[in-house]
Amino acid sequence: MSAIINDIEIIKAKTTKINDVDFDNLKFGHVFSDHMLECNYENGKWQTPKVVPYQGITLDPSAKIFHYGQSVFEGMKAYKDADKNVWLFRPLENFKRLNISSKRLAIPELPENYFMDGLQALLEVDKDWIPTNEGSSLYIRPFVFASGNGFHASPADAYKFIICTAPSGSYFAGDVKVLIEEKYSRSANGGVGFAKAGGNYAGQFYPTQLAIEKGYQQVIWTDDNTHEYIEEAGAMNIFVRINDTLITGPTSDRILDGITRKSIIELAKSEGIPVEVRKITVSEVVEAAKNGSLKEMFGAGTAAVISPISGFGYKEADYDLPQLEDTYAAYLKKRITDIQTNKAEDPFGWRFQVK
């Protein structure tokens, strides 16, 4: 069965998997919806996207994604409010960042209407997959990769843009204990750290595995040159609260321009919370932990929104953060998720209704 929405062909699945899903016990990113959006880049231009049944992809062994890693992605969420309206959170920021990432990896940039109309068509078809349980959402994964063939070390001549969705529960459960990295780096000046390139995350797995073996859940990444400056927390941006001031590092070649990150900065400022965007030294954080002025640390990103850090390790020493009754992390997370789920006013114009 097929239909047309905004010039996008819809080919519906013959059967649905939705009745086999336990929406009360959703893991993050393990169950996938009935459909996906697919769009091919061929003969020098992006073809019209299609919504098709969720299915496997067949690629030639010489496809350049396997050899040269031309792959970028985004992370988004869709929510339903009490009236079953469907909402996205700042989707144009994801579209813009996908193209920024693509450009850095020599991948052709997508037209805005292909991204936005394609996404809305997909959500219209699979709107029943958007969970309504507290803390759950429909996680959305747009990604682009090189499908063109050849062993020559050069950009591909063909690409695929796909959007898949997964009804998901919370990304993390509980607070996280982290290890400040002293040897490895996730990115370098002039590199691709600011892009959501798949290889950035592959390079994080091994150091994170080493940290897990030491009893930590994640790594705090430091700068590639001196390892003196705190930059990111795992796959998230990082915020540090010293006394009543919220501090986060500036974006750069090495640090992702997180959409949750800049939303937290804008929201905190509007609430009268002192915010500083500046470099943060490891020694400053350690000293603050020792003298009691370090009140909070938390990661910020689409998947978890805000993930509190309960303690950190550095140079064979562990530092526990205080257990506060009222935290910036809890307050800001509630404010953002209330906006995302249409439980509160949106003075910033961040919420986007899917109609």
Tokens of 37: 């959006």
Residue that terminates a domain, selected from 168, 185, 205 = 168
Q: DSSP string of 289-307? A: HHHT-EEEEEEEETTTEEE
Looking at the structure, tell me whether residues 199 and 102 fall in a common domain.
Answer: no
Looking at the structure, tell me whether residues 258 and 331 fall in a common domain.
Answer: yes
Residue 190 pLDDT > 60, yes or no?
yes
Residue 185 pLDDT > 80, yes or no?
yes
Residue that terminates a domain, selected from 149, 168, 187 = 168
Mean pLDDT of the chain: 96
Q: Tell me the CA end-to-end span of the chain in Å, nearest whole number.
A: 22
Q: How many domains does the chain have?
A: 2
What pLDDT score was predicted for residue 4?
A: 60
Looking at the structure, tell me whether residues 276 and 303 fall in a common domain.
Answer: yes
Residue 171 pLDDT > 90, yes or no?
no
Q: Parallel, antiparallel, or unpaired for β 86-89 and 76-80?
A: antiparallel
Looking at the structure, tell me whether residues 158 and 266 fall in a common domain.
Answer: no
Looking at the structure, tell me whether residues 163 and 181 fall in a common domain.
Answer: no
* Domain assignment of residue 351, yes or no: no
Q: What is the pTM of this model?
A: 0.95
Looking at the structure, tell me whether residues 188 and 159 fall in a common domain.
Answer: no
Angle at 73 between CA 352 and CA 158, to 5 degrees: 115
Residues 272-276 have a mean pLDDT of 98
Determine the Cα–Cα distance for residues 140 and 164; give it in Å rounded to an integer: 6
Share of the chain above pLDDT 90, in %: 95
pLDDT tens track for 281-328: 999 999 999 999 999 999 999 999 999 999 999 999 999 999 999 999
Q: Give, for 317, the enclosing helix (H) or strand (E).
A: strand 317-320
* Domain assignment of residue 327, yes or no: yes
Q: Which of 27-36, 104-113, 171-180, 258-267 has the lowest mean pLDDT?
A: 171-180
Residue 320's Cβ-side half-sphere holds a number of Cα atoms within 13 Å equal to 3
What pLDDT score was predicted for residue 312?
A: 98
What pLDDT score was predicted for residue 34?
A: 98
* Domain assignment of residue 350, yes or no: no
What pLDDT score was predicted for residue 173?
A: 62
Beta strands in 113-228 (DSSP E): 137-146, 159-168, 176-180, 218-222
* Domain assignment of residue 112, yes or no: yes
- pLDDT classification of 5: cutoffs 50, 70, 90: low
What pLDDT score was predicted for residue 7?
A: 83
* Domain assignment of residue 247, yes or no: yes
Range of the domain at 315: 176-340
Looking at the structure, tell me whether residues 147 and 221 fall in a common domain.
Answer: no
Looking at residue 221, which CATH number applies to its domain? Answer: 3.20.10.10
Torsions phi, psi of 123, nearest 5? Answer: -70, -30
* Domain assignment of residue 41, yes or no: yes
What pLDDT score was predicted for residue 175?
A: 73
Residues 6+ apart with CB under 8 A from 249: 229, 230, 231, 237, 238, 255, 277, 278, 279, 280
> How long a stretch of residues is the chain?
355
Residues 176-197 have a mean pLDDT of 95
Residue 114 pLDDT > 80, yes or no?
yes
